[in-house]
Amino acid sequence: MTERARTDDVLHREGEIRLRLLIESIHDYAIFMLDPDGRIASWNSGAERITGWREDEIVGRHFSTFYPDEDIRAGKCDLELAVAAEIGRFEDEASRLRKDGSRFWANVVISAVRDESGRLIGFAKVTRDLTERRQVERERAARLAAEQASRAKDEFIAVLAHELRTPLAPIVNAVQLARLRGYDSPELEVVERQTQHLVRLVEDLLDVPRITRGKLELNLERVEIAQVVSQAIEMAAPVLEQRHHIVDIDVPRQGCAVMGDRFRLAQVLSNLLTNAAKYSEPHGRIAVAAAAAGGRVRITVRDRGIGIEPAMLSSIFDGFVQDDGARNRSMGGLGLGLSIVRSLVQLHRGRVVARSQGRGTGSEFEVELPSADAEEVADPGAGAAGRASGVLSPELTETSATRRVLIVDDSEDAATLLAEVILALGHTPRMAHDGIAALDLARNFQPDIALIDIELPIMDGYQLAGHLRREPWAHELLLVAVTGHAEPSARTRSLGAGFHDHIAKPLDFATIQRILRAGVGRRPDTD
């Protein structure tokens, strides 16, 4: 019997040692015992690591040592022990104190410990430090919230820009019509200039969500920078002329070819030219130069204007940033131009830098692009490569034949003005303001071209296009969607619905002419 008791005793003590070692080796958890009054009776290395208290300092103290004052005043410690004693367990996540007074975020489980007879002999307390995890979670939540806000902002901007386009379309058309009729006056010039400015602002606004969502499509082709420069100068002409600047051009006709989207590259340079014009005193000189070397084409736009503070040189490419000094003299702008420039250049696998010696010393912007001649094989995975650019290609021969053009738009102003422009160009327009009326009219009128707004009452533009295509007379009808939605998905949807092309409002003069040319060769006019 004695032998047996001794063996039991040894086994029991071995068990205790093993348990102690186990608890000691758990470094991530503070595991300790409280007596029934809440005083600390044992301590492990995890508890020391988390709280900073050593065993010899803490044993005998009340566990409220780890509780912030407000919890103690609220009677939290007593409550927790009472709950654990009553139902066996209490769990909480809250702020706790370390020895140095700093706080950590803890998950705490308190379990009642009873002997064989059910008498409460104390509490086991297991505490886990979740400060880091909480921080990570908070950061993730903040990031998600920021992303959501940014998406909401992009959506708002897209809707805003779309809404702004709708009233802009008839204004642009009205001005063009007035010009066609030979009406000329300083007032009209103001309206024309400011409208062009508005159209550009709206375009910029639309580009931002396109770029940030990676939805901007490039029509890549081999293009000489000389052509891009001349298109850019044309685009920037209103502000260049208004401020009486002289542009010195040093760009070779050949030898500076890049693989790029000619319109987007012209947009880049016209932005730089517009800025050079805006941020220079009138009657200034602006120099545009281009050269190819080492497989790269470098294009510089240099002005002798107000210059840029060195500290601002890199941040001006971030959206909505404007140099304070420049702002006072700003001719308006959203501070988006350069961020769009940088995104477009990067999409072309290039880079753009700004240089200036500071205030009053002028600025130079350099765009560097890979030369088309240095490119090995075009990377077919580059995503943006070679999208077909719609059926309306300029190579269609022009004739003087009169086209019958059906205009369907629920905005009477927009439809009327467009009709007048078409009429003034010598063609025959008819208007309808909803799908049903359009179908009726089309059966008699048998148009060569239908310019159809998508957002129509009763029957939308897609449905109308579907009906028109099934008409027996319509096998040569050119269907063009004219909408405020310029995003690629809207275009894809239009082409999918049977439209031959998709054109964004406001329609400019050149686009209208292009459409009328594309209608050529269909049916001769018999009106």
Q: Does 306 contact ligand ADP by CB under 6 A?
A: yes
| Structure-token match 């032998």, residue found | 3
Nearest residue (CB) to ligand ADP, 7 versus 330: 330
Tell me the pairing of strands 351-355 and 221-224: unpaired
Can you read off the two tokens belonging to residue 301?
């736009």
Distance (Å, whole) CA 353 – CA 358: 15
Cα distances (angstroms) measured from residue 402 to each of 422, 427, 522: 10, 5, 11
Report in angstroms how near the CB of residue 465 gets to ligand ADP at its nearest.
38
User: Using CB under 6 A, which of 202, 269, 308, 415 touches ligand ADP?
Assistant: 308
Report in angstroms how near the CB of residue 198 gets to ligand ADP at its nearest.
13
CA 515-518-523 angle, 5° bins: 115
DSSP 3-state assignment of 210?
Answer: helix
Measuring CA to CA, which residue among 336, 66, 117 is closest to residue 206? 336
Candidates 47-55, 211-219, 322-330, 507-515: pick the segment binding ligand ADP (CB under 6 A).
322-330
Nearest residue (CB) to ligand ADP, 262 versus 342: 342
Nearest residue (CB) to ligand ADP, 150 versus 330: 330
Cα distances (angstroms) measured from residue 82 to each of 41, 94, 123, 443: 18, 18, 11, 87
Amino acid type, 383: G
Q: CB nearest ligand ADP: which residue?
A: 333
Using CB under 6 A as the binding rule, the residues of this chain from 258 to 287 that contact ligand ADP are 275-276, 279
Directed axis angle between helix 225-242 and helix 186-212, to 10°?
Answer: 130
Q: Does 389 contact ligand ADP by CB under 6 A?
A: no
* Number of residues located near ligand ADP, criterion CB under 6 A: 22
Report in angstroms how near the CB of residue 485 gets to ligand ADP at its nearest.
25
- The 325-354 contact track toward ligand ADP, x by CB under 6 A, reads -x---x--xxxxxxx---------------
Candidates 60-68, 111-119, 321-329, 493-501: pick the segment binding ligand ADP (CB under 6 A).
321-329
Report in angstroms how near the CB of residue 341 gets to ligand ADP at its nearest.
7
Tell me the pairing of strands 285-293 and 120-129: unpaired
Distance (Å, whole) CA 276 – CA 270: 10
- φ, ψ for residue 368, nearest 5 deg: -120, 125
Report in angstroms how near the CB of residue 367 gets to ligand ADP at its nearest.
13
Report in angstroms how near the CB of residue 265 gets to ligand ADP at its nearest.
16
Cα distances (angstroms) measured from residue 5 to each of 8, 9, 10, 12, 14: 5, 6, 9, 10, 14
Can you read off the two tokens belonging to residue 106?
């803890």
Is omega for the bond preceding 506 within 30 degrees of 0, making it cis?
yes
User: Using CB under 6 A, which of 33, 290, 316, 421 touches ligand ADP?
Assistant: 316
Candidates 147-155, 160-168, 319-327, 411-419: pick the segment binding ligand ADP (CB under 6 A).
319-327
Measuring CA to CA, which residue among 415, 406, 419, 410 is closest to residue 480? 406
Cα distances (angstroms) measured from residue 293 to each of 296, 321, 400: 5, 32, 46
Report in angstroms how near the CB of residue 201 gets to ligand ADP at its nearest.
9
User: Using CB under 6 A, which of 170, 209, 238, 305 touches ligand ADP?
Assistant: 305
Report in angstroms how near the CB of residue 438 gets to ligand ADP at its nearest.
41
Report in angstroms how near the CB of residue 336 gets to ligand ADP at its nearest.
6
Cα distances (angstroms) measured from residue 489 to each of 18, 201, 210, 324, 526: 67, 22, 11, 38, 38
- Cβ contacts of 267 within 8 Å, gap of 6 or more: 232, 235, 340, 344
Nearest residue (CB) to ligand ADP, 36 versus 319: 319
- Cβ contacts of 436 within 8 Å, gap of 6 or more: 458, 459
- The 144-183 contact track toward ligand ADP, x by CB under 6 A, reads ----------------------------------------
Candidates 28-36, 131-139, 316-324, 453-461: pick the segment binding ligand ADP (CB under 6 A).
316-324
Report in angstroms how near the CB of residue 273 gets to ligand ADP at its nearest.
9
Distance (Å, whole) CA 318 – CA 352: 12
Q: Does 72 contact ligand ADP by CB under 6 A?
A: no
Nearest residue (CB) to ligand ADP, 144 versus 249: 249
How many Cβ atoms from other residues are within 10 Å of residue 522's Cβ?
17
Report in angstroms how near the CB of residue 321 gets to ligand ADP at its nearest.
6
Candidates 216-224, 252-260, 304-312, 495-503: pick the segment binding ligand ADP (CB under 6 A).
304-312
Nearest residue (CB) to ligand ADP, 46 versus 333: 333
Nearest residue (CB) to ligand ADP, 367 versus 450: 367
Can you read off the two tokens belonging to residue 52?
């900073």
Amino acid type, 51: T
User: Using CB under 6 A, which of 80, 224, 261, 303 touches ligand ADP?
Assistant: 303
Question: Which residues of this protein are in contact with ligand ADP, per CB under 6 A?
Answer: 275-276, 279, 303, 305-308, 316, 321-323, 326, 330, 333-339, 363
